[in-house]
Each structure stands twice: as C-alpha cells, then as structure tokens.
C-alpha cells in the first residue's frame, strides 16, 4: 500500500471472474435489442394515472382482428397506428376473421382493472412493455405509475425518479411536478443499461435466471473494483450504480470515461459511503475526461491522521489531463495534512457541483499547478484550514458556492493563484473571508463577504486581484485590508456596517478604490497610512460613525471625484506627515469639519466642493501646510477656513462664501498665505485675524460680507497686499486690540461703515492704498510711506 503512485494501477486487484449460470435457451423472437422499443410505448388515456382503479367491466364494440407480429418490439399501442412494414391481411372467403375466443376477449375487455393490474405486478419491465402493445386498455394499465415505481425502486432504490437526459447530467424530480404522466418509466428507460454494485445480491441474481429473465443487460458485482474491471462485458456502457452501504479500502483509480452514481432511497449521498484509510479514496487519471461520480459520500479517514503512514493525503484527487464531473457528493477528510479535494496539474479541469466539502481537518478544496475547472453550487464549511486554496497559476471558475464557518480563511489565493469567483456567499470565517497574497490575481464578482471574525478581504505581500460589485459588510475588522506593496482593484462594491473601517490601506499598500458605496462603518470609510499610495475615486463615503477618509502616518494617494457626506467626524482627515492629493471631490453635510489638516498634515486640496458642515469647511492646525486651490467652500456653520495653533498653508484661487461665521479665520500664531481668493456674502466677516495671527493676504476679492471685510485683533500682524475689499455691510478693514498690520496697494471702497477703522493704540504701516466711496466714516487718502494717526470711533460690535 506504500508503493509510489506510479505503480498504483499495476497493484489494482484483478477482477475475479465468476462463472455465470447457463441461461435458458430462447427462441429467435426473444432475442431483443438492448432496450426494447416496447419501453417507449406511448402512455395514453386517463387510465395511466387512475389509481386505485374503480371496479368495472368493459363492453367494447366488436372489431375485426388482424394477424399481429409475434415479436412485440415496436408494436403499436393503438389499432390506428402503423410501425414499419405490416404483413398483408389473409383473405378468408371475402370476410374478416372471426372475433377472438371468449377467454381472450374476457381477458382483454371484461376482466376488472384491479385483476389485470395484479397480474401485471408480477411482470418485469420488458414483459410489461410487451403487454402494453396488446391493446389500448393494456397500454393504459401497463403504463400505470404505481407498477413502474415498484419495479423502479426494486432495481435502483431511488424514492424519487432520477432523470438522466444526457451524459454527465443526473437530477431527481418530484413525480407530482413532472410534466409527463409516468416519470418512473421514463427514468427506468434512461438508466436501463448499467452495472450494479450491491454486495450479497450478485450471487442471488445469477443463480435465478428465470426470476430475472429479460435483464440480460444488467450486471451485478459485490465490489466497486470488480465493477470497474467489468468494462469488457458486452453491452456495458460505463454506467455503474453503487447501492446503499459502506465500501472500505477499495482501490478506485479511474482512467476511463465511466459514470458512477450512488443508488439509495431518501437522501442518496448519505446512504452510499466510500472511504479509504490508507490512500486517496478516488484518483482520477488521464483518460477520465468524461467520467462522472455523483450522489455518494467520499471519505478519507486514515488511522494515523498525520503524513507518516500514507502516501497521498487527499480524499479525492484529480490529476493532469482529466476533466471528470463530481456531482452531489459529500466529501470528508480527517487527515491533518493535504486536502479533501486536490486538483493539480496542467489540463486538470473537473466540474464539481452541488457537493458538500465540510468538517475536514485540512484544506477543503485545493487547486494548484495550472489546474482549472468549474466549481458551482457547493457548500464548503467548517474546515480546519482554508475552505478553498488556489496557488501556482491555478485558474478555476467558482460560482455560487457557500463558504462559511471556516476555522481559518474562507478563500486563500497565493503564489500566482488566479481564478474567477462569482456570486459566492462567504461568511463567518475565523480569519478573512478572502485572502490574496504573493502575486495572486483573482477576480471576485458579485459575492457577499460578511461577518468575518477578522476582516472581509485581505490583500498583502504584493497581492493583486479585481473585486467588483461585491457586498462586503458586518466584518469585525476592516471590510478590505490592503498592505505590503499590494495593488488590487476594488470597484463597484458596497462596503458597509463594518465593526471597524471600510477600506484600510497601510504598509506601502496601493490599489484602485473606485466607484464603491462605503457607509455605516464604525471607523473611517477609507483609511490610508504608512506610505500607502492608492487611487481613490468616484466613491460614495457617507454616514460613517467616524470620519470619511483618514490619511495619516505619511499616507499619500490620489483622492478624486468622490462624494463624502454625512459622516460623524471630519469628512477628510490629513495628519502626521501625510501628503494626499484631493481633487474634484464633493465633501458636504458633515457633522463636524469638512477637511481637517492637523499635526503636520500636508497635501493638495484642489477643485473640490466643500459645503454645509456643522464646523468649518476646512481646518488647518499644528504645523500643517497644505495647498488649497480652486475650491468652493460654503455653508459652514463655523466659518469657511479656520487656520489656528501654528497652522500654515497656501490658500489660493478659492471661492469662499455664505458661511455663518468668518470666511477665513487665522489665529494663535498661524501664518498662512491667501492669494486670489473670492471671499464674499458671508453672514459674518470676510477674514478674521486675532490672537497672534499673521499671514499674507494678497490679491483677494473680499466683498458683500455682513461684518468687516478684514478684522485684525489682539496682537495679530498680517500683511495685506493688493486686495480689493468692497461692498461690505460694515467697515472694509477694522484693526483693534493692539494689533498691527501692513497694508500695501489695497483698494477699499463702497463699504457701509468706512473703508478703514483703527482702534486706539493701533499702529498700521500703509502704502499705496486706495480708500474711497465708503460711507459713515472718515476716509483718508494716505500717501506713500505715511503712518495714519490713530483714531477711536464707535463701530458695530464684532
């Protein structure tokens, strides 16, 4: 048993030939075809399903009787039908023959249905078909489904008809729902030729030829090995039925296109059990391209669960250049190494469908070494290692599988593994639902990945992959993790209700995050950190319990054309040395700040719409120095842009309007640069600089604000150069509380409470300013290099 695999075929036991009993001599007319044509006799008339029958006597009109063929093959079930050549009716004195004898007439016409059915119940299938050819009444009665169900269950054991319309396709039906009146007979015809593995029955079958006359095309064996060795029997077409029982330690090496199917009542696969304790239970080899195995339990259950005492460690093994079909099987392995199903090698391309691969002490389904195949509608659960492994250029198609409650990861692709995964339900696995590693590149489409005990999708160590239109939700950690130079595509997914974040990119991760709907997560919708540099675009990131996008610890990335809204904290956070580029995003309706730069957060914020936040549209603090260009910032309840606590920044070409407080606040030692901005229609002041604020304000248009165009207060000292401050509803520039300022080349006009208001103790350096057409205050034309006299005038409170 421990010989190398190359000798496996040579050590298969030879089939022991069993002497067959001599069959009784049959005349020429009894040598029927393999499947008599009688078996397709038409089932017509209402009597085919009238059961139980009402007791009645038939009284039929007299009819002429013509000679019939002695061989009933192909005989008509109606007196009006013609099948092939029919002999001429002999002439008898110009008259038809007499009516049948009274006994025959009574049998055909007047004998009660119950009695005829009782007689028919003793017939086997071929004789029943011949009886159906006698007359229309016999055709109706001989096609009674109850008769055929009894015969069918005696031969095949199925309690529901097993239909076999074409090679490699078997399925059970409910007789009540089938469109034809007698599915039992139809299934019998489809399954008629076959070998049966039924321990203990073979001797009885061959010892009673008279009892089973007409079943010459059926073969019976005690073991599966014997049935596989019986391929040279005449009329054997490769169909093997394995009946109820447990078959242990048989050498099942399949290298021909045989069909092997379990045959048992009720749940068929649970009643037919094939197991091995020493070697792989099933091995498919080259030559088994069209083999089929279905409706059985296949187990590998070694006494020693480790690798020491057996060569192979797989329950079912599919090797190079073979493409069998495995259908409706229960597959189990208690070995702690290997896998339950191993598909390996170039040309290994099975179809595995409707199988249950569960409760294994190793990997469930293992696809490797360029193997492919189609895997559909399987249940893969509670395996000690991954439910599915794909590696080394394996490239399967996996559809509608249910992969759940694994004690490890749900699906693991690595070492250049690929594959197409569609409409799978992957949930409640102990580690990630889907893991991609080491140049693996799977495509995952329209799957549900949820309730993972850690994350949903984990891509690491240069993994790739395309994850498209999936639902990723309710995972304990992030819905998607991307790390260590990995570069996947995450497109069109719904990523929601995670117990942590939505998408988490860290450790030099990259990737394209595009067109996703990310919402309702406990932490940030997207988190970028530690030198990661993804492309994030066209996403909706909303209604998070934390922030929308969080970029920290030197995170980077291009974040463009997203809609970020209704998050509990900031729409976008940029911090701790991070430098993302945010372009053409709509960031709105947040419950705090729109975009928040702090603790040396940098980067570029350009061409965005930032509006309707409960706090400021943009905040910059503690050494942060972003470039903020060409944005529209409006509707903030705490101002447009707030720069404080030593914040910096280049704020250029923005339009800042309709904010509840100042369009721009600069305070507490902050020193930003504001150029060419339009700051207008604020419900408070235009720019407010106080508490030691500084800054360069250059070439800005500041107009139609409810309070002062520029308010400078409390030890602040900005530089205002070439600004236009006009049409304000208060003063143009107001300087108070020991503040100073440098004013050069500004135009201040059409303001309601004066162009320039200076409180006592204020010193201002002015040069080339134009102050004109302002109302209700003293206008001063100030010549070059002149410091104006300090004045104190009553003005509206600020």
Residues 259-279: tens digit of each pLDDT: 999 999 999 999 999 999 988
Model pLDDT, residue 761: 78
10 Å CB burial of residue 623 (0-12, 13-18, 19+) is: middle
Mean pLDDT of 54-81: 36
Weakest-pLDDT range from 90-99, 413-422, 501-510, 567-576:
90-99
CB 343 within 8 A of CB 322: no
| Tens-digit pLDDT profile for residues 429-445 | 999 999 999 999 999 99
Alpha carbons 119 and 107: distance in angstroms, whole number? 11
Confidence of residue 218 (pLDDT cuts 50, 70, 90): confident
Angle at 196 between CA 126 and CA 166, to 5 degrees: 75
Q: Are 429 and 453 in contact (CB under 8 A)?
A: yes
DSSP state of 708: -
Question: Environment class of residue 539 by beta-carbon count within 10 Å: exposed (0-12), middle (13-18) or buried (19+)?
Answer: buried
Average pLDDT over residues 389-403: 98
Q: For residue 684, name the pLDDT band (cuts at 50, 70, 90).
A: very high
Highest mean pLDDT among 91-95, 229-233, 618-622: 618-622
Q: What are phi and psi of 140, to 5 degrees?
A: -65, -45
Beta-bridged to residue 565, according to DSSP, are 542, 588
CA distance 318 to 321: 9
Q: Which two tokens stand for residue 347?
A: 């040309």
pLDDT of residue 776: 58
* Confidence at residue 305, expressed as pLDDT on a 0 to 100 scale: 63
pLDDT of the residue at 264: 97
| pLDDT category of residue 84 using cuts at 50, 70 and 90 | very low
Number of Cβ within a 10 Å radius of residue 209: 15
Helix, strand, or coil here: 664? Answer: strand
How many CB atoms are located within 10 Å of the residue 779 CB?
Answer: 15
Structure confidence at residue 374 (pLDDT):
98
- Tell me the CB-side half-sphere exposure of residue 776, using CA atoms within 13 A: 12
Could you tell me the pLDDT band of residue 306, with boundaries at 50, 70 and 90? Answer: low
- Residue 627 is classified by DSSP as E
Which of 607, 610, 599 has the alpha carbon at shortest distance from 641? Answer: 610
pLDDT in tens, 723-749: 999 999 999 999 999 999 999 999 999
Name the token pair of 261: 């199917």
Looking only at the bridges linking them, the beta strands covering 604-606 and 627-629 are parallel
For residue 102, count other CB atoms closer than 10 A to its CB.
Answer: 9
Residue 15 above 50 pLDDT? no
39 has a pLDDT exceeding 80: no
- Tell me how far apart the alpha carbons of residues 203 and 489 are, in angstroms, rounded to a whole number: 63
pLDDT in tens, 511-528: 999 999 999 999 999 999
| pLDDT tens-digit series, residues 540-597 | 999 999 999 999 999 999 999 999 999 999 999 999 999 999 999 999 999 999 999 9
pLDDT band at residue 101 using 50, 70 and 90 as cut-offs: low
**What region does 237 belong to: left with phi over 0, alpha with psi -120 to 50, or beta?**
alpha
pLDDT 10s digits, 363-375: 999 999 999 999 9
How far apart CA 708 and CA 751 sit, in angstroms, is 9
Q: What is the value of pTM for the model shown? A: 0.83
Q: What is the dihedral of CA 137, 139, 142, 146, to 10 degrees?
A: -90
Task: Please tell me the total number of residues recorded for the chain in this structure.
Answer: 798
In this predicted structure, the answer to whether residue 706 has a pLDDT above a threshold of 90 is yes
| Joined tokens for residue 330 | 């229960």
Q: What is the mean pLDDT of the chain?
A: 86
Confidence of residue 100 (pLDDT cuts 50, 70, 90): low
Location of structure tokens 């945010």: 582
Nearest to 737 by CA among 673, 693, 775: 693
For residues 116 and 107, give the distance between their C-alpha atoms in angstroms, rounded to a whole number. Answer: 8
* Helix orientation angle between 125-132 and 145-156, rounded to the nearest 10 degrees: 160
Please count the other Cβ atoms lying within 10 Å of the Cβ belonging to residue 297.
20
Mean pLDDT across the stretch 95-106? 59
pLDDT of 707 above 90: yes
Query: Cα separation of 702 and 679, whole Å?
Result: 5
What value does the mean pLDDT take over residues 146-156?
95
Q: How many Å apart are CA 310 and CA 307, to the nearest integer? A: 6
Tokens of 200: 């203990």
């Amino acid at each position: 048993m421990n010989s190398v695999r190359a000798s496996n075929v040579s050590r298969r036991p030879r089939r022991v030939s069993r002497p067959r009993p001599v069959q009784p001599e049959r005349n020429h007319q009894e040598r029927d075809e393999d499947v008599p044509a009688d078996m397709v006799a038409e089932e017509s008339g209402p009597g085919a399903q009238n059961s139980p029958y009402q007791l009645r006597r038939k009284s039929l009109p007299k009819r002429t009787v013509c000679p019939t063929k002695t061989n009933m093959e192909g005989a008509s079930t109606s007196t009006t039908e013609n099948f092939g050549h029919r002999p001429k009716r002999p002439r008898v004195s110009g008259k038809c023959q007499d009516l049948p004898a009274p006994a025959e007439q009574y049998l055909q016409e007047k004998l009660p249905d119950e009695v005829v059915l009782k007689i028919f119940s003793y017939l086997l299938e071929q004789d029943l078909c011949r009886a159906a050819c006698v007359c229309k009444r016999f055709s109706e009665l001989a096609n009674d489904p109850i008769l055929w169900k009894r015969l069918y269950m005696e031969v095949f054991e199925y309690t529901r008809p097993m239909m076999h319309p074409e090679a490699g396709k078997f399925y059970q039906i409910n007789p009540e729902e089938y469109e034809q009146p007698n599915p039992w007979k139809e299934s019998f015809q489809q399954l008629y030729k076959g070998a049966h593995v039924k321990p203990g029955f073979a001797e009885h079958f061959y010892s009673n030829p008279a009892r089973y006359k007409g079943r010459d095309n059926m073969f019976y064996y005690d073991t599966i090995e014997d049935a596989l060795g019986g391929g040279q029997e005449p009329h054997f077409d490769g169909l093997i039925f394995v009946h109820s029982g447990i078959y242990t330690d048989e050498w099942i090496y399949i290298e021909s296109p045989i069909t092997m199917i379990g045959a048992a009542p009720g749940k068929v696969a649970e009643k037919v059990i094939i197991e091995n304790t020493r070697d792989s239970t099933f091995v498919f080899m080259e030559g088994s391209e069209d083999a089929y195995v279905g409706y059985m339990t296949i187990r590998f259950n070694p006494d020693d669960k480790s690798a020491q005492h057996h060569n192979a460690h797989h329950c079912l093994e599919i090797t190079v250049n073979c493409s069998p079909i495995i259908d409706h099987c229960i597959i189990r392995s208690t070995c702690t190494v290997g896998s339950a199903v191993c598909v390996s090698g170039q040309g290994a391309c099975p179809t595995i469908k409707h199988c249950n691969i569960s409760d294994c002490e190793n990997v469930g389904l293992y696809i490797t070494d360029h193997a492919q195949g189609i895997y559909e509608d399987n249940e893969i659960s509670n395996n000690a290692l991954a439910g599915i492994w794909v590696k080394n250029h394996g490239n399967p198609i996996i559809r509608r599988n249910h992969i759940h409650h694994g004690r490890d990861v749900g699906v693991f692709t690595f070492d250049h593994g690929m594959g197409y995964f569609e409409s799978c339900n992957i949930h409640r696995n102990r580690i990630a639902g889907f893991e991609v590693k080491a140049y693996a590149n799977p495509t995952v489409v329209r799957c549900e990945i949820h309730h993972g005990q850690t994350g949903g999708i984990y891509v690491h160590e240069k993994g790739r992959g395309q994850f498209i239109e999936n639902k990723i939700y309710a995972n304990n950690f992030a819905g998607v993790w991307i790390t260590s130079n990995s570069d996947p595509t995450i497109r069109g997914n719904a990523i929601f209700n995670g117990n942590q974040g939505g998408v988490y990119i860290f450790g030099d991760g990259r990737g394209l995050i595009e067109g996703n709907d990310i919402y309702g997560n406990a932490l940030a919708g997207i988190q970028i950190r530690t030198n990661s540099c993804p492309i994030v675009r066209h996403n909706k990131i909303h209604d998070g319990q934390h922030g929308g996008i969080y970029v920290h610890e030197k995170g980077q990335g291009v974040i463009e054309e997203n809609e970020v809204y209704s998050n509990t904290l900031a729409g976008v956070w940029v911090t701790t040395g991070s430098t993302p580029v945010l372009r053409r995003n709509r960031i709105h309706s947040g419950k705090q700040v729109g975009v928040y730069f702090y603790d040396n957060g940098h980067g570029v914020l350009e061409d965005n719409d930032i509006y309707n936040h409960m706090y400021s549209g943009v905040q910059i603090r503690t050494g942060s120095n972003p470039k903020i260009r060409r944005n529209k910032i409006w509707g903030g309840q705490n101002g447009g842009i707030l720069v404080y606590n030593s914040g910096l920044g280049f704020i250029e070409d923005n339009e800042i309007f309709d904010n509840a407080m100042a369009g721009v606040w600069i305070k507490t030692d902050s020193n930003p640069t504001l150029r060419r901005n339009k700051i207008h229609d604020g419900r408070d002041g235009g720019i407010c600089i106080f508490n030691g604020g500084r800054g360069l304000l250059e070439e800005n248009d500041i107009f139609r604000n409810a309070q002062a165009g520029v308010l400078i207060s409390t030890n602040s000292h900005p530089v205002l150069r070439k600004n236009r401050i006009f049409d304000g509803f208060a003063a143009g520039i107001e300087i108070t509380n020991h503040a100073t300022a440098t004013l050069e080349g500004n135009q201040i006009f059409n303001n309601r409470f004066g162009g320039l208001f200076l409180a006592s103790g204020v010193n201002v350096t002015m040069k080339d300013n134009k102050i004109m057409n302002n109302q209700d205050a003293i206008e001063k034309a100030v010549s070059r290099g002149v410091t104006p006299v300090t004045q104190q005038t009553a003005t509206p409170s600020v």
